């Protein structure tokens, strides 16, 4: 077994690898950027090395610096986690060349699957069915438009070097192709340093089903069953589950057999995921499932596979990298119960899922009955530098219904402030009648979006109880429950008739309330200055006494375009003095690896343009003004 390993990553995956390594007696070395100097993974590791500034390109993506840190600390191996350098064949080769152990597949296997067009051609040769489309070398706009027209619409544009939905665009009609192509290329270049794309036919009721595979250095390869990752938003996975709903023994044999065949075709080693797209319009059928791509690394959603098989996949990785054979033969791998994973993100569903950054003054994650993988803690922060995932919440139960219920209840109990999260949105997905009925595909969230992202009102009894507490003034410290007994709460009763009325604001909306004193021991809350923050349904509600309101209305109607988040300007599609129509795209901001278009609020003329492509901006910066026509 490897004696020491450097984790070339950060956040929850670094913490997760460290936990397994410590259990196996393997010494761990963490690396960190300036932004992560106080991060959880840094403190968990046996040793930690600073590797550069906050930007990933200046730290976590500096392969030579990571290798130097491994050699300086005496680490025998490098585990890349996922993201960053995990699928970089040149980095993997450099690790081998440095005399270190690479906890991952051979560089040749990474190369074979790293480019989607080449990977598809390799799979065709291996007899694995692939999605029809264009994989050609000619990347001219004219050729791509011609091929798109021949394929027909809707279709998908995909980055050749892509992953995680980056550089992917759905195109509904021919007139939208050029703009979508430009956007996909920019995002692909920013994410992968490669702006080449391929085209695929769009499956109208697609299910995203992937198979976990593992192979060792002795020619053995197995699968650990399938996962369904169909609940997605903007091609980013939201809810994952294993096994896949509606999977039959016949279809499982076909899809898992194809996955193992794909792994063997490239002499694979270690953990990998073969991703398939299935036409779910007539249920799952063996002849309607096609290869999409292979991820030559551990996946974010690997905990659901661990839950149903009872295996530790990081342990398997370390053993395979050490030269050991696979721990189990195919027939020895169990499949027990049902598991679901929800990705808790720092984002605001009510505002178009815009990223939410800032301090984690309050962070209370579930402690019982579910698994929580996280790389942050209360008192830390969500920065704009990296992926906004706060945690993965994983539930395992005997049935799909029980797993969904357990996970939904866990999400409802999450308390985060002042950062906004998608906790309530996750619970709404899990509780939606169509999800419960297994009526899922990758369009599920878009079809039900308005209902899923709608905030759940604070219940009247909780609101009145909070107002009663507010009436007694600030008591506990910010990290103490507002419901805890404390000195100075005189006259506060747990039971009794209504005593008075009080004017308050709930998230800025004025309310007249009759104060009561119900049993509110189950309520969660904290103080933010003189305001009371109440947690319910996975949401945070601000209760405050009315303050003098100055006239601030009209900003939105004035035509000012403000940045809704910190980020980088990737495109400015208008010039000073240009005439625009309401809804025209003016500026594109990139934040946390995602593009956000800012549109004209009305017909008019652009004035006061303050930015250009490449500028770094802060949240709230005035970017332009549209003078109404």
Please tell me whether residues 223 and 320 are part of one structural domain. Answer: yes
The rounded distance, in Å, linking the Cα atoms of 128 and 292 is 10
Please tell me whether residues 240 and 331 are part of one structural domain. Answer: yes
**What does the chain come to in residues?**
629
pLDDT of residue 554: 35
Strand partners, 533: 526, 542
Please give the residue range of the domain that contains residue 154: 133-201
Please tell me whether residues 243 and 325 are part of one structural domain. Answer: yes
Look at residue 164 and tell me whether its pLDDT is greater than 90: no
Q: What is the pLDDT of residues 515-525, one digit of tens each?
A: 765 444 456 78
Please tell me whether residues 523 and 440 are part of one structural domain. Answer: no
Model confidence at 563, pLDDT cuts 50, 70, 90, reads confident
pLDDT of residue 346: 95
Final residue in a domain of this structure, among 277, 301, 336: 336
pLDDT of residue 555: 37
Asked if the structure places residue 555 within a domain, the reply is no
Look at residue 248 and tell me whether its pLDDT is greater than 80: yes
pLDDT of residue 135: 86
Share of the chain above pLDDT 70, in %: 92
pLDDT of residue 470: 83
Look at residue 310 and tell me whether its pLDDT is greater than 50: yes
Please tell me whether residues 328 and 425 are part of one structural domain. Answer: no
Asked if the structure places residue 448 within a domain, the reply is yes
Please tell me whether residues 264 and 321 are part of one structural domain. Answer: yes
Please tell me whether residues 217 and 299 are part of one structural domain. Answer: yes
pLDDT of residue 499: 52
Please tell me whether residues 468 and 607 are part of one structural domain. Answer: no
Identify whether 352 is preceded by a cis peptide bond (ω within 30 of 0).
no
Final residue in a domain of this structure, among 161, 181, 201: 201
- For the chain, state the CA radius of gyration: 26
Please tell me whether residues 213 and 125 are part of one structural domain. Answer: yes
Model confidence at 486, pLDDT cuts 50, 70, 90, reads very low
Q: What is the pLDDT of residues 319-342, one digit of tens each?
A: 999 999 999 999 999 999 999 999
532-541 mean pLDDT: 94
Final residue in a domain of this structure, among 179, 201, 223: 201
Q: How many CB atoms lie within 10 A of CB 176?
A: 14
The rounded distance, in Å, linking the Cα atoms of 567 and 616 is 6
Token pair for residue 25?
């007696």
Do 302 and 230 touch, CB atoms closer than 8 A? no
Look at residue 494 and tell me whether its pLDDT is greater than 70: no
pLDDT of residue 519: 44
DSSP state letters, 275-334: EEEEETBTB--GGGEEEEEEE-S--TTHHHHHHHH---HHHHHHHHHTTPPPSS-GGG--
Of 115, 72, 71, the C-alpha closest to 97 is 71
Look at residue 137 and tell me whether its pLDDT is greater than 80: yes
- Dihedral sign for Cα 179, 182, 187, 188, please: positive
Domain of residue 197, CATH code: 3.30.1490.20
How many angstroms from the chain centroid is the CA of residue 598?
22
Q: How many CB atoms lie within 10 A of CB 255?
A: 24
Phi, psi of 352 (to 5 degrees): 70, 25
Mean pLDDT of the chain, nearest integer: 89
Model confidence at 145, pLDDT cuts 50, 70, 90, reads very high
Strand, coil or helix: what is 462? helix
Asked if the structure places residue 553 within a domain, the reply is no
* Mean pLDDT lowest among 106-115, 277-286, 611-620: 611-620
87-106 mean pLDDT: 97
Q: What is the pLDDT of residues 341-392, one digit of tens each?
A: 999 999 999 888 988 888 999 999 999 999 999 999 999 999 889 999 999 9
Model confidence at 556, pLDDT cuts 50, 70, 90, reads very low
Asked if the structure places residue 34 within a domain, the reply is yes
Q: Are strands 236-242 and 270-279 parallel, antiparallel or unpaired?
A: unpaired
Do 222 and 213 touch, CB atoms closer than 8 A? yes
Q: What is the pLDDT of residues 593-616, one digit of tens each?
A: 667 889 998 899 999 899 999 888
pLDDT of residue 295: 93
- Helix (H), strand (E) at residue 403: helix 400-412
- How many CA atoms, within 13 angstroms, populate the side-chain half-sphere of residue 355? 25
179-190 mean pLDDT: 94
How many angstroms from the chain centroid is the CA of residue 29?
25
74-91 per-residue burial string, b: 16 or more CB within 10 A, e: under 16: ebbbbbbbbbbbbbbbeb
266-274 mean pLDDT: 97
422-446 mean pLDDT: 97
Of the two residues 277 and 593, the one the predictor is more confident about is 277
Please tell me whether residues 219 and 329 are part of one structural domain. Answer: yes
The rounded distance, in Å, linking the Cα atoms of 1 and 617 is 48
Model confidence at 434, pLDDT cuts 50, 70, 90, reads very high
Please tell me whether residues 229 and 317 are part of one structural domain. Answer: yes
Asked if the structure places residue 488 within a domain, the reply is no
Asked if the structure places residue 189 within a domain, the reply is yes
Model confidence at 472, pLDDT cuts 50, 70, 90, reads confident
Cα–Cα distance list, 137 to 125, 134, 198, 199, 439 (Å): 18, 9, 9, 12, 38
305-315 per-residue burial string, b: 16 or more CB within 10 A, e: under 16: bbbbbebbbbb
Q: How many domains does the chain have?
A: 6
Please tell me whether residues 410 and 468 are part of one structural domain. Answer: no
Do 151 and 173 touch, CB atoms closer than 8 A? no
246-257 mean pLDDT: 96
Q: What amino acid positions are annotated as catalytic residues?
A: 297
449-456 mean pLDDT: 93
Q: What is the pLDDT of residues 190-225, one digit of tens each?
A: 888 899 999 998 888 999 999 999 999 999 999 999
pLDDT of residue 343: 98
E-only strand ranges, 41-186: 47-52, 77-79, 101-102, 133-134, 155-159, 169-171
Angle, vertex CA 542, rays to CA 541 and CA 546, nearest 5: 145
Cβ neighbours of residue 43 closer than 8 Å, sequence gap 6 or more: none
Domain of residue 287, CATH code: 3.30.470.20
The rounded distance, in Å, linking the Cα atoms of 545 and 499 is 18
Q: What is the pLDDT of residues 20-67, one digit of tens each?
A: 999 999 999 999 999 999 999 999 999 999 999 999 999 999 999 999
pLDDT of residue 420: 94
Dihedral-angle region of residue 505 (phi above 0 means left; psi in -120 to 50 means alpha; beta otherwise): beta
Asked if the structure places residue 551 within a domain, the reply is no
Share of the chain above pLDDT 90, in %: 69
Asked if the structure places residue 532 within a domain, the reply is yes
274-286 mean pLDDT: 92
Do 566 and 618 touch, CB atoms closer than 8 A? yes
Strand partners, 7: 30, 79
Of 277, 122, 110, 87, the C-alpha closest to 200 is 277
577-587 mean pLDDT: 92
The rounded distance, in Å, linking the Cα atoms of 453 and 422 is 8
Domain of residue 610, CATH code: 2.40.50.100
């Amino acid at each position: 077994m490897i004696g020491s390993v450097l984790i070339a990553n950060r956040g929850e995956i670094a913490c997760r690898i460290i936990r397994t390594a410590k259990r196996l007696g393997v010494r761990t070395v963490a690396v960190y950027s300036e932004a992560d100097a106080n991060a959880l993974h840094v403190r968990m590791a046996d040793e930690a090395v600073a590797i550069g500034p906050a930007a990933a390109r200046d730290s976590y993506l500096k392969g030579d610096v990571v290798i130097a840190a491994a050699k300086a600390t005496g680490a025998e191996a490098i585990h890349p986690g996922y993201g960053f350098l995990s699928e970089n064949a040149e980095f993997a080769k450099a690790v081998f060349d440095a005399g270190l152990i690479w906890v991952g597949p051979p560089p040749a296997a990474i190369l074979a699957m790293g480019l989607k067009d080449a990977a598809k051609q390799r799979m065709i040769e291996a007899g694995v069915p692939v999605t029809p489309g264009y994989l050609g070398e000619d990347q001219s706009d004219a050729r791509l438009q011609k091929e798109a027209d021949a394929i027909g619409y809707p279709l998908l544009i995909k980055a050749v070097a892509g992953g995680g939905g980056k550089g992917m665009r759905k195109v509904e009609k021919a007139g939208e192709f050029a703009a979508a192509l430009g956007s996909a290329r920019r995002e692909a270049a920013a994410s992968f340093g490669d702006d080449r794309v391929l085209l695929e036919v769009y499956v109208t009721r697609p299910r995203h089903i992937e198979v976990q595979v593992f192979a060792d250095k002795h020619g053995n390869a197995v699968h650990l069953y399938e996962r369904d990752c169909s609940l997605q938003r903007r091609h980013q996975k939201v809810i994952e589950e294993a096994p896949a709903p509606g999977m039959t023994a016949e279809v499982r044999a076909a899809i898992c057999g194809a996955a193992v065949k794909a792994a063997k075709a490239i002499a694979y080693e270690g953990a990998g995921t073969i991703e398939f797209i299935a036409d779910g319009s007539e249920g799952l059928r063996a002849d309607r499932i096609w290869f999409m791509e292979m991820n030559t690394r551990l996946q974010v959603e690997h905990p659901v596979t661990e839950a149903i098989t009872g295996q530790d996949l990081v342990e398997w990785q370390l053993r395979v990298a050490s030269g050991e054979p696979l721990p189990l033969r195919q027939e020895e791998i169990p499949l027990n119960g049902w598991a679901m994973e929800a990705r808790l993100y720092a984002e605001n569903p009510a505002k178009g899922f815009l990223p939410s950054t800032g301090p984690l003054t309050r962070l209370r994650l579930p402690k019982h009955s579910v698994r929580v993988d996280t790389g942050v803690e209360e008192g830390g922060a969500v920065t704009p530098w990296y992926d906004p995932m706060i945690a993965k919440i994983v539930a395992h139960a005997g049935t799909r219904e029980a797993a969904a219920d357990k996970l939904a209840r866990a999400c409802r109990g999450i308390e985060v402030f002042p950062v906004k999260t998608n906790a309530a949105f996750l619970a709404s997905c899990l509780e939606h009648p169509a999800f419960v009925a297994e009526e899922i595909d990758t369009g599920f969230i878009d079809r039900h979006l308005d209902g899923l992202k709608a905030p759940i009102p604070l219940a009247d009894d909780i609101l009145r109880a909070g107002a009663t507490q507010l009436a007694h003034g600030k008591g506990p410290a910010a990290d103490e429950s507002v419901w805890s007994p404390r000195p100075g709460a005189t006259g506060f009763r747990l039971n009794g008739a209504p005593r008075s009325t009080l004017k308050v604001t709930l998230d800025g909306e004025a309310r007249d309330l009759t104060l009561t004193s119900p049993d509110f021991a189950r309520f969660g809350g904290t103080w933010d200055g003189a305001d009371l923050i109440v947690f319910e349904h996975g949401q945070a509600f601000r209760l405050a006494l009315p303050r003098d309101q100055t006239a601030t209305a009209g900003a939105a109607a004035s035509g000012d375009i403000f940045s809704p988040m910190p980020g980088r300007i990737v495109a400015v599609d208008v010039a000073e003095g240009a005439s625009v129509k309401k809804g025209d795209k003016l500026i594109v901001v990139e934040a946390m690896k995602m593009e956000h278009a800012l549109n004209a609020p009305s017909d008019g003329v652009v004035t006061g343009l303050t930015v250009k492509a490449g500028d770094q901006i802060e949240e709230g910066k005035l970017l332009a003004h549209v003078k109404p026509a």
